[in-house]
Every structure is written in structure tokens, then in C-alpha cells.
Amino acid sequence: MTQRQRTSRSPFAGVIAIVGLIAVIYVLLNVVKIGWWILGVVAPILFLISLFLNKSVAVDFGKMLVRTLKTDLPRGILYSAGTFFLYPLVMTFIFFKAYMSSKVRKTVNDKRAEAKQEREFTKYEEVVEDEDDFLDLPDLDVEPPKEKLKDTGYENLFE
């Protein structure tokens, strides 16, 4: 006698899963859209801050675009279009690069200042040693007494 396991499945289980998946995708897309809008509003501010942090990063990015347009026109057009359409990401990248380069520059300058301070001499007092030796060490010329070791038969092995 075998018993069959009875499974009761709702005919709407697949439909509920698909509707749930669509709802999750819809919510995620709205979160990305809101994030993109916020980043688009903040991007010009980030660009201005990056100019104050390290102007050369933004200038170098512009020079790279112009140089790419001159040397490789299709790639230059692609880079320019990407910069135009993805400007929130590009401005965030420029801000991050300027921020990190200013932090590195500050760290290097701090280390240089520390090294300059270490180069300055500290006041010291020269200690004059007395004629008397404060350690009484035995002379090294004296050979230690030879002990009679047990004869193992290996003494002449390397001769």
C-alpha cells in the first residue's frame, strides 16, 4: 500500500509570483529614478566643490575629451555623448577623484612637514666615560679548559 502525497497548489500561484516580481522591479526602478534625479540635482554642486578641491582634475578631464576628439573622432564623440547623457555620474567621478587627490596631497604635505621636523637636531649632552672600566670582562685570549669528553669514535670523521 503506497500513499500518494497530495499537494494542493493554487492555480494562481504562478500569477502571484509574476505580479510580485513585477512589483519588485517597479519599486527598484523608481528607487533608481529618484536616485538619478537627486544625483542630477547635486551634480553641479559636486562639480563646483571639485573645482575648489583640485581644479586640475576637471581641467584634465576636459583636455582628455578634446584630445580624444582630435585623435580619434568616433571615440571622442562617444565620450562626449556619454559625458552629456551621464553627467551626474561623470560629475560624481570628477568630485571623487578631486577629493581623493586633495587628500593624498594633504597627506604627502603632512609627511614632508614631519620629515622636515625630524631633520632638526635635538639638543644633547655628551657623556664622558671614566677611565675605569665599569664592566669587568674576562680576556678573550685565554683558552677555556678542555674537558675530557666521552670517546664516541666520531672525532676523526672529517679529517
Q: How far apart are CA 21 and CA 132, in angstroms?
A: 92
Share of the chain above pLDDT 70, in %: 80
Model confidence band, residue 154 (pLDDT cutoffs 50, 70, 90)? confident
Q: How far apart are CA 46 and CA 99, in angstroms?
A: 10
What is the chain's Cα-based Rg? 39
Picking from 39, 30, 28, the residue whose alpha carbon sits closest to that of residue 93 is 39
Statement: residue 26 has pLDDT above 80: yes
Model confidence band, residue 104 (pLDDT cutoffs 50, 70, 90)? confident
Give me the mean pLDDT over the 108-116 stretch: 79
Give me the mean pLDDT over the 27-42 stretch: 94
Statement: residue 43 has pLDDT above 70: yes
Provide the whole-model pTM.
0.57
Q: Which of 7-21, 29-43, 67-81, 92-106 has the weakest average pLDDT? A: 7-21
Count CB-CB contacts under 10 A for residue 41: 10
